[in-house]
Chain A
Amino acid sequence: MLEIKNLHVNIEGKEILKGIDLHVRAGEIHAIMGPNGSGKSTLASAIAGKDIVEITEGEINYMGENLKDMNPEDRARKGLFLGFQYPVEIPGVSLVNFMKTAINENRKFKGLEPISASEFLKMMNEKQELVGLHAKLTSRSVNEGFSGGEKKRNEIFQMAMLEPLLAILDETDSGLDIDAMKIVANGVNKLKRSYNATILITHYQRLLDYVIPDFVHVLYKGRIVRSGEKELAQELEEKGYEWIEEEV
């Protein structure tokens, strides 16, 4: 599904990623861990197509296509979802309106008619329940005045609505209390299918108690320095990132 080969990325002329290789298949959950500043969010931005990211070497292939010249909305329409570390506020645009626009744009891309009002409403209710998003939030402006936990839950809600093939959740667990995190994890687990995949980007191991990854990668100073199965996360938690530092 996703194949990253020797990816080098600059941001404002500075090299942040220095040769990443990553292979994600359908049905898998990958966790990418690493200390602050190791390049985790940059990797997510590169996959989603943020324009400040400059790919200097290597390539990202998604569903057999090189993403190099693809704009972010087409990537999204082909099933790529990024849960933002800092979800963006859009004043005056209600979440309902925002989601309806997004769904219809995605449908148009697939050659489908716009969703009917009743179907959309049904879908909203269903997915809200799934992530425990309070109904009153959907009439408010996107992320405006949302608490930290509400913003993160809103990201999972949107993921549920858009039903992506590959979801990248960037620090979706940060700043959440344990209950909120369980809700997020629950959402991720419930949405797991044999045909989709998830990349969890996280600083801490605790999310991985609730979402069991198939693979764990440690990103350090722009490189994946270790890959393994879920035990690697445990080991990292016990020994801390200093351990990696020493190893490297």
Chain B
Amino acid sequence: MNASQDKLLAKVTQADYKYGFYTDIETDAFAKGLNEDVVRQISGKKNEPGFMLDFRLKAYSHWKTMKMPEWAHLTIPEIDYQDIIYYAAPLQKPTLGSLDEVDPELLRTFEKLGIPLEEQKLLSGVAVDAVMDSISVKTTFKETLAELGVIFCPMSEAIREYPDLAKKYIGSVVPYTDNFFAALNSAVFSDGSFCYIPKGVRCPMELSTYFRINMANTGQFERTLIIAEDDSYVSYLEGCTAPVRDNNQLHAAVVEIVVLDNAEVKYSTVQNWYPGDKNGKGGIYNFVTKRGLCKGDHSKISWNQVETGSAITWKYPSCILKGNHTTGEFYSVAITNNYQQADTGTKMIHIGKNSRSTIISKGISAGHGQNSFRSLVKVLKTADNVRNFTQCDSLLMGDQCGAHTFPYIEVENDSAVLEHEATTSRIGEDQIFYCNQRGIDTENAIGLIINGYAREVLNKLPMEFAVEAQKLLQISLEGSVG
């Protein structure tokens, strides 16, 4: 690395986080701390039916017996769970009839984020559920979707309006006993998105949830549930941002997906939480449990993620391939720059016969970032003719960062064919010089090379998202060449 690149590295890695503003809006928030009363109050605020409160209380008492997992390749500072606000909601009128009734400040916030909630301004074909500080503020296109029988609404509403579905599916893929963060989420989740695609319906538009943490000292615990009935299809998008703050904030979400016969769910995430400053101060702790169940035969789940934000990421979107002829996919680009840490990857549990899985992971480490890929591919005895292909590539930029891969491959069936490949590389000085010689400066050269490296994953994202992701990659990394 020569001196000019050094300077560039310094300049650009200190580039400002674009979404770091804070919206001054009236908020209804609990006092800090967690106890059984808080759990009851959250449930009360939501007018939840009794089964939901039961679920929360069981989860809470289970959580109290658990410890934070320590196996990940992460250095997590002590978290004081009594120093967090577990419920914060923008103050609003009891029910929203139309957009006119939404606080204009809120609308402006989402507009600033590039998420217009006014339907006439929306990109055609995207329905948005906007969640701020754990509360769903507005869901667009609800009526259009309702005509097809598609339910797309805040989780709290779904629990009240569709208790049978909620009771049947909440906790069915990620039980509250699953892990420390899932238990915590099960006890205190305040909202999230609910999505139900009835039999035979191909959802005509992308469904999108946009998560925003606004208030200080709050934890965000949303819970998403997607149910795809037989022969249905939906593409679902998730985006996240948060204001710049000096202290760390906790985000512990749960996503559950259930896919029945011949149905398909595509879940895409562009995760851009505030990553902390260049010295590692502040940023979101992102401890998320995402899991899909391919319950029916010939069903398919595809996880596509671009991870650029968070101070610490602990996240393994997984597929349980229970049905026969099911397909699980995981495409991921994860960047760690400055002092970010990520331990992310996937699990593919093959139970059904002829199930297939593909894992493509592209890790990029820069600055002092530590980037770990962790995967489990497990083939159970019942699962004949399983195929898996895994590729995990790491790109290192600079000599202070680290790239690690921890795959676990467990095979109990002799008809399985599994392949795993991994490479480690860096951006070559010769590549940069070649671009320079064609008149492309180093910043753009890096952007070009990074996007080339991540192309396989970016190609899997829906169009509008891919463009955003591409820009994000460049912003997150420009100049940090080694």
Contacts and interface: CB of A to CB of B under 8 A. Distances in A.
Contacts of A90: 431, 434-435, 448-449, 452
A92 B454 contact: yes
Contacts of B440: 73, 101-102, 105
B434 A84 contact: yes
A88 to B, nearest CB: 4
Contact of A158 (B438, B449, B453): B438
Nearest to B442: A73
A132 interface: no
Interface in A69-83: 71-73, 75-77, 81-82
A197 interface: no
Nearest to A81: B437
A105 B453 contact: no
A76 B452 contact: no
Contact of A92 (B2, B442, B452): B452
Contacts of B429: 51
B448 A101 contact: yes
A76 B439 contact: yes
B436 A76 contact: yes
Contact of A97 (B428, B430, B431, B448): B448
A89 B2 CA distance: 21
Contacts of B435: 73, 90, 98, 102
Nearest to B441: A73
B431 A102 contact: no
Contacts of A101: 440, 444, 448
Contacts, number: 79
Interface string A93-136: 10001100110011001000000000000000000000000000
B433 interface: yes
Contact of B428 (A50, A88, A162): A88
Interface in B9-39: none
Contacts of A88: 428, 430-431, 433-434
B4 interface: yes
A50 B453 contact: no
Given A88-B428, A93-B452, A76 B2 contact: no
B4 A71 contact: yes
Given A88-B431, A93-B451, A93-B452, A105 B437 contact: no
A48 B437 contact: yes
B238 to A, nearest CB: 25
B46 interface: no
Nearest to A168: B437
A97 B445 CA distance: 12
A102 B441 CA distance: 9
Given A98-B448, A101-B440, A158-B438, A92 B433 contact: no
B455 interface: yes
A109 B448 contact: no
Nearest to B438: A102
Interface in B408-459: 428-431, 433-442, 444, 448-449, 451-456
Nearest to A50: B433
Contacts of A81: 437
B29 to A, nearest CB: 46
Nearest to B456: A92
A91 interface: yes
A89 B435 CA distance: 11
A164 B435 CA distance: 15
Contacts of B449: 90, 92-93
A155 B221 CA distance: 54
Contacts of B437: 48, 72-73, 75-76, 81-82, 84
A84 B456 CA distance: 28
B477 to A, nearest CB: 15
A73 B452 contact: no
B456 A73 contact: no
A97 B452 CA distance: 10
A82 B448 CA distance: 20
A75 B428 CA distance: 21
Contacts of A84: 434, 437
Contact of A106 (B439, B453, B454, B456): B439
Q: Looking at B430, B435, B451, which has the most chain A CB atoms within 10 Å of its CB?
A: B435
21 contacts: A51-B429, A71-B4, A71-B436, A71-B441, A72-B437, A73-B436, A88-B431, A88-B433, A90-B434, A90-B448, A90-B449, A90-B452, A91-B452, A92-B453, A92-B454, A92-B456, A93-B448, A93-B451, A105-B440, A158-B438, A162-B439
Interface of B: 2, 4, 428-431, 433-442, 444, 448-449, 451-456
Q: Which are the 9 A-B pairs with shortest beta-carbon distances?
A: A92-B452, A93-B452, A72-B436, A76-B439, A102-B438, A88-B434, A92-B455, A73-B436, A106-B439
